[in-house]
Amino acid sequence: MKMTRRAFCAGLASVPLARAVQAQDMPLLTARAATVQLAPDGYPATPVWSYEGTIPGPVIRAAQGSRLQRRLVNTLEVPTSIHWHGIRIDNAMDGVAGLTQNAVPPGESFDYAFDLPDAGTYWYHAHTNSMEQVARGLSGALIIDEATPPDVDRDKVLMIDDWLLDPDTGLFVDDFAAPMTRSHGGQIGNLVGVNGRYDYMLPARQNERLRLRLINSANAQIFGLKLEGLTGWTVALDGMPLDTPEPVTETLVLAPAQRMDLIVDVTAEEGETAGLLFAAADDTWRVLAEVSVEGRAASVPRGAPQPLPRNPRMEVEGVDTAPVLEMQLQGGAMRGLESAAFNGQKLSWQELVQQGQFWALAGQAGLGEAPFATLSRGETARIRMTNDTIFPHAMHLHGMHFRERKADGSLGPLRDTVLVMPNETTEIAFVADNPGKWLLHCHMLGHAASGMTNWIMVA
């Protein structure tokens, strides 16, 4: 939609002046086609869909307690929308096409404006046909700064992604909806990288203290990570501070959409290998982000870091007496389903497959008319997710964070995405304090698009 200046001003005539001024000042976030060099030199560049022309999109930083405003300008040839993953947000700004807003047509725009109650590491990504749009590059980091930042020398975002490229053309393998991958583990790339680089390198000094904000923006890949030449502590998960920093001693698991804030000291000597490694498919450890050590920041490393300042509303009270809602994770290759509801009808496995639906949550494939649950505002609820499939699923709740309730009744850290392993039951508990329609879905985006998406109503 093109608007002349006159039509634009005329359209604003009835809007109070304050809002009109604000709207004109709104910073833009433009979804647009671009070409970037994802593959190593010598291979062709890749046409992508981007925010502002880069992969990932620009890092958006704002202060805790402030208000974020961005005008999404859609210059793509497809409709799109933005989800602000992990923000305990006003429902109307959640960006879910078909549930909280209409997708923004090509040539049009949408104004996002919302409060930022929590500090931490979040991210933003397309939430219209996400399976394809996120894979083509529509994601970026969203960092909300504490009023008093922790004592570190530098703060770095490491956005971890994978891309499935045709090495001859540089193009994305154009089969985002391939039934084979959607009914199995999801689309896994043939190139892994950080901040859009397969060879990401971070120069650092010995005994320098870094805050590393890890974000898994891959469509389906679960990353097993370890540190080399770095001594680290996990200080936050999915944006939310841990009560006590946890020393990193073993493999860290980062499922799609999950985040992890580490504070690390560079302990390697100059010239020694240091960095973040990942477990490749062939079970070897490969460098994901290299830290190249040059010079010294201090003569000795520092001690364990202090915890990050807490965010508001981190308690989940009344869990033991809260109602338990059962949600089976069903379907997929090798297991299938007897039947599930889809678009208001009960379909057999064969009919579901014909509709491109391979999965279901509690007998429902895709969004139904009725929510999975209706909760009253302020009530505590438990959802017991039982994984009846042979695949892991990264289950994400919009709008509210939850704690895992362990079998012994203890509660895990506050987070927004949890990995539910095959044949396991994971129970989450949360306070339904944010009114609106909220998705609960698998963040393996091919799964989400083929059945593993449901919703909750908080009234």
**Which residues are near ligand C2O by CB under 6 A?**
83, 85, 125, 127, 257, 396, 398, 439, 441, 443
* Residue 444 sits in the site that holds Cu ion (CB under 5 A): yes
Any contact of residue 252 with Cu ion (CB under 5 A)?
no
Q: Whose Cβ is closer to ligand C2O: residue 382's or residue 398's?
A: 398
Neighbouring residues of 457: CB distance < 8 A, sequence distance ≥ 6: 371, 373, 374, 375, 436, 437, 438
Q: In what order do the strands lie in the sheet with 82-85?
A: 60-63, 139-145, 120-126, 82-85
Query: Is residue 182 close enough to count as binding Cu ion by CB under 5 A?
Result: no
401 binds Cu ion (CB under 5 A): no
φ, ψ of residue 302 in degrees (nearest 5): -90, 170
Residue pair 91/434 in contact (Cβ under 8 Å)? The answer is yes
Return the amino acid letter for 295: G
Of all residues in this chain, which one has the CB nearest to ligand C2O in the complex? Answer: 85
- Closest distance of CB 329 from ligand C2O, Å: 16
Residues 120, 311 contacting (CB under 8 angstroms) = yes
Which residues are bridge partners to 192 per DSSP? 162
Binding partner of 393, given ligand C2O, Cu ion, none, CB within 5-8 angstroms per partner class? Cu ion
- Give me the amino acid identity at 32: R
Strand bridging mode 359-361 / 393-397: unpaired
Indicate which of ligand C2O, Cu ion, none lies near residue 257 (CB less than 5 to 8 Å, by partner kind): ligand C2O
Over the window 360 to 399, marking each residue x when it contacts Cu ion by CB under 5 A and - when it does not, the resulting string is ---------------------------------x------
- Is the Cα torsion angle 363, 100, 144, 204 positive or negative in sign? positive
By a kind-dependent CB cut-off of 5 to 8 A, residue 442 interacts, out of ligand C2O, Cu ion, none, with: Cu ion
Rg (CA), the chain: 22
The residue (of 98 and 318) whose beta carbon lies closer to ligand C2O is 98
Minimum distance, C-beta of residue 428 to Cu ion, in the bound complex (Å): 15
Tell whether omega for the bond before 256 is within 30 degrees of 0, i.e. cis. Answer: no
Pinpoint the alpha helices (H) of 155-199. 179-182
CB of 85 to ligand C2O, least distance (A): 4
Task: Pick from 419, 442, 449, 458 the residue near Cu ion by CB under 5 A.
Answer: 442
Could you say whether residue 441 binds Cu ion (CB under 5 A)? Answer: no
Residue with Cβ nearer ligand C2O (176 or 233): 176
Chain residues in the site for Cu ion (CB under 5 A): 393, 442, 444, 447, 452
